[in-house]
Amino acid sequence: MITFHNDSHVLHHGRLEMFRGELVPCFEVPERVDHVLRELRERRLGPIESPPHCDELALSRIHSSRYLDFLAHAWDEWVALDPANVQRDAIPSYWPVRTFRSDVLPASFAARLGLFSFDAGSPLTAGTWAAARKGADCAIAAAQQVLAGGRAAFALTRPPGHHAGVDFFGGYCFLNNAALAAQSLRDGGAQRVAVLDIDYHHGNGTQAIFYERSDVFYASLHGDPHTEYPYYLGYADETGKGQGLGCNLNLPLARGTAFAAWREALGQALRAIAVFEAQALVVSLGVDTFAGDPIAGFALASPDYLRIGEDLAAAGLPTVLVFEGGYAVGEIGINAVNVLDGFSQRAV
């Protein structure tokens, strides 16, 4: 399995995030990818390459132009407000909630930062745009590899992507890599594409992007949003809208769920994808389902990820795997690569 590695990911390194009422060191750190890359090299699961640069039009297939323009220039605007800002990250503090307008683009940078975000836990840094932009390259390159006949490809990148929407960031995510991969597969000729999100946290951004479409099926198994981030989306009664009705499947699970019950939900999602008759699969590969993850609540063990990889391969679909969450940094390499290893062994 080929891996497309984002060697610019280190440019995005947030200092602090707002977590449960206080500023704390960021959980989403560069070492996450470094550990996965090291494990990949040790196991020799396939070539590791830097992706080619994708066309800007590919980004606009998913994200709005004013949002992309904001991300591309946000850091320079932030520093222009005060040269001392170069020593601190930009964190939102205002949001246009119900009854507020979002159609007018404010002149205030702070107001625009809030307009294009949904939480205070996703610091925007000097290298955020460069890292996210090359992450999109990884996702699209992986999709192109599959379109060219590859059985599977892995986009190893950060920041992650599945919380990012058409015009907002949050949950550590700025560009939605899984959605970009799915759209690339569609544009490349796949008539029906499925996105399977196995991160602990619901991929609210991915769901929202495809919620009214019948050509992309979204399935997610995740922590119950009654108690788990991102709270406001991911309920079982969200099944799609308009042409997309019936093309969205949420399987929320209780905190403490162990592998047997989790795997049953995975089987349910894969059966729904088979009924949809997807021609290609994108997996939002989060491994924050691990029992030791500091900001999640499932009880999976490292060997379980081998079985996950096997189950994904058994679906028999050309597959793009996109790296998402996982914050038990010491184990993240083993867990993520176990999925790839299990997939590769079953796919032979």
Q: Rounded to an integer, what distance in angstroms lies between the CA atom of residue 153 and that of residue 118?
A: 31
Tell me phi and psi for residue 105, to 5 degrees: -90, 110
Q: Rounded to an integer, what distance in angstroms lies between the CA atom of residue 194 and that of residue 186?
A: 10
Which residues are catalytically annotated? 163
Tokens of 98: 């119900």
CA 89 to each of CA 77, 146, 261, 296: distance values in angstroms, whole numbers, following the listed order? 12, 37, 40, 25
Q: Cα–chain-centroid distance for residue 98?
A: 26
Q: Rounded to an integer, what distance in angstroms lies between the CA atom of residue 166 and that of residue 65?
A: 9
Q: How many CB atoms lie within 10 A of CB 138?
A: 31
Contacts of 74 (CB under 8 A, 6+ apart): 90, 109, 113, 124, 128, 129
Q: Whole-angstrom distance between the N-terminal and C-terminal Cα of the chain?
A: 11
Burial track 3-42 (b if 16+ CB lie within 10 A, e otherwise): bbbbbbbebbbbeebbeeeeeeebbbbbebbbbbbebbee
* Residue of 260, 328, 338, 254 whose CA lies nearest to 291: 328
Question: What's the per-residue H, E or C state across 106-155?
Answer: CCCHHHHHHHCECCCCCCECCCHHHHHHHHHHHHHHHHHHHHCCCCEEEE
